[in-house]
C-alpha cells in the first residue's frame, strides 16, 4: 500500500479527529484511512448521510433494513447516496454509515 504523509495539522483539527476515532473505536490511522477510502469511493449507491424525517411523513412504514414497524412516535430517517438517490426509511438503529 502507498504511504501518505500529512504534516502541520492544526491542533484543534487533530483533537477532533482523535475524538471521532475514539468514538468509532478506531485508531487515528484506521479512522483516517476509512475517511480517505470513503472520499475516494465512486460507488453511487454508497450512503453518505442520514436525515430525520418529519413526524407523520412515513406513518405505518417499516424499516428498509431490519423490517421493524414504526410506531406513532418513532424516529424515522432517510438516507442519501453518493449518486443523490434517497433510500429508506430506516429506524434509528439502522440509520448509520458504519
Q: Look at residue 76 and tell me whether its pLDDT is greater than 90.
A: no
C-alpha cell at 53: 424525517
- For 1-10, the pLDDT digits (tens) are 788 888 999 9
Per-residue model confidence (pLDDT) at position 14 = 94
Q: How far apart are the first and last CA of the chain?
A: 23
- For 26-35, the pLDDT digits (tens) are 999 999 998 8
Higher pLDDT: 67 or 42? It is 67
pLDDT band (50, 70, 90) for residue 57: low
Q: What is the mean pLDDT of residues 9-24?
A: 94
Q: What is the residue-averaged pLDDT of the chain?
A: 85
HEC secondary structure over 18-66: HHHHHHCCCCHHHHHHHHHHHHHCCCCCCEEEEEECCCCCCCCCECCCC
Amino acid at each position: 500500500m502507498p504511504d501518505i504523509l500529512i504534516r502541520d495539522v492544526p491542533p484543534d483539527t487533530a483533537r477532533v479527529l482523535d475524538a471521532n476515532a475514539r468514538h468509532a473505536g478506531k485508531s487515528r490511522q484506521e479512522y483516517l484511512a476509512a475517511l480517505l477510502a470513503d472520499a475516494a469511493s465512486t460507488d453511487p449507491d454508497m450512503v453518505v448521510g442520514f436525515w430525520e424525517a418529519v413526524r407523520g411523513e412515513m406513518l405505518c412504514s417499516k424499516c428498509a433494513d431490519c423490517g421493524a414497524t414504526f410506531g406513532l412516535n418513532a424516529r424515522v430517517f432517510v438516507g442519501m447516496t453518493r449518486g443523490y438517490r434517497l433510500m429508506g426509511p430506516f429506524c434509528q438503529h439502522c440509520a448509520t454509515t458504519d
